[in-house]
Amino acid sequence: MNGLHFKRNYFEGWYFKQNNGEHTIVFIPSYHIDQKGKLNARLQLITDNSAHCFTFPAEKFHFEKKPFCAKIGGSVFSLKGASLNIDDAAYKITGELVFGNLTAPKYDIMGPFAFVPLLQCRHSLISLKHTVDGHIKINDSRFDFVNGQGYIEGDRGSSFPERYLWTQCNINDTAVMLSIATVRALSINFLGAICSIYYKDKEYRIASYLGAKVLEFSEKSASLKQGKMRFSVTQLSAAPQILHAPVDGMMGRLIRESPSCSVRYTFSIGNDTVFDIISPNAGFEYSDNAKG
């Protein structure tokens, strides 16, 4: 298990999103280790109108870092595709997906934060956009993907931040990931932001470690400024589903995410508007644990 038995109060998970222009389906395979070192695994499913969490014992989970491969139950996730085979009382899911070339950021989205010890949660941006081909069958419904859109990210640590906003989209020649959070490291809380904007084959990076300032951070909107660059997001519609999130490694928190909703993204440099778009299939999530 790659030394996982040495960890305590730890989680690691990966977010695989695919959209075929009409439907969005997300899978989140993850593993969790409690304070006694006991491991269990989960696979969360999110669709446009439902969410479900499948649990698995330790012996049903296997993980390899290089090349990345997470096997959970009868399903396998890699950076080349996914094979789905889930069967329980509520769901029967089968399918095969093939991913095209991944669009990775230039360097670690965490920047120098990646080297900060005892950071509560570390984010990884694996692919801002890639093609998805194949099919998924959920009970009696079949979803076909022909040159669909995909996105992959990951998180690891002990807990999700107390308060955070996250959004993601890819539409035409534009892909975006933004996360703003109250982060805890070494018993110190601070507001941090990471954002990758991929536009016309070029990445623009806005982040606290590059001098970005958070101008707005609320339940439905956020804005950042870094030098001459300014970026803002506004959620225009919501279709939230309930997900399980980690607290001290275990899934003790409920959050609400809209996997496919309408979000406006505006990016400008100086007086020039680079883009002002509305994505109908964006992901959006806001959580404030202090408010329950």
Q: What is the pLDDT of residue 185?
A: 79
Taking residues 249-258, report their average pLDDT: 92
Angstrom distance (rounded) from CA 292 to CA 287: 9
What average pLDDT is seen over the chain? 94
Residues 6+ apart with CB under 8 A from 66: none
Specify the DSSP class assigned to residue 14. E
Give 70-118 pLDDT, tens digit per residue: 999 999 999 999 999 999 989 999 999 999 999 999 999 999 999 888 8
Taking residues 55-70, report their average pLDDT: 94
pLDDT band per the 50, 70, 90 thresholds, residue 250: confident
Give 29-61 pLDDT, tens digit per residue: 999 998 888 899 999 999 999 999 999 999 999
Q: What is the pLDDT of residue 187?
A: 78
Per the CB < 8 A criterion, the answer to whether 54 and 88 are in contact is yes
Q: What are all long-range contacts of 235-241, with beta carbons under 8 Å and residues at least 24 apart? A: 235/167, 235/261, 235/262, 235/263, 235/284, 236/261, 236/262, 236/263, 236/264, 236/278, 237/261, 237/262, 238/284, 239/48, 239/49, 241/46, 241/47, 241/49, 241/50, 241/51
Q: What is the pLDDT of residue 92?
A: 96
Taking residues 212-227, report their average pLDDT: 98
Q: Which domain holds residue 234?
A: 4-291
Give 196-214 pLDDT, tens digit per residue: 999 999 999 999 999 999 9
CA nearest to 222, candidates 162, 159, 270, 267: 267
Domain count, the chain: 1
Give 9-27 pLDDT, tens digit per residue: 999 999 999 999 999 999 9
pLDDT band per the 50, 70, 90 thresholds, residue 275: very high
Q: What is the pLDDT of residue 3?
A: 47
The residue type of 198 is Y
Note if the bond before 67 is cis, omega within 30 degrees. Answer: yes
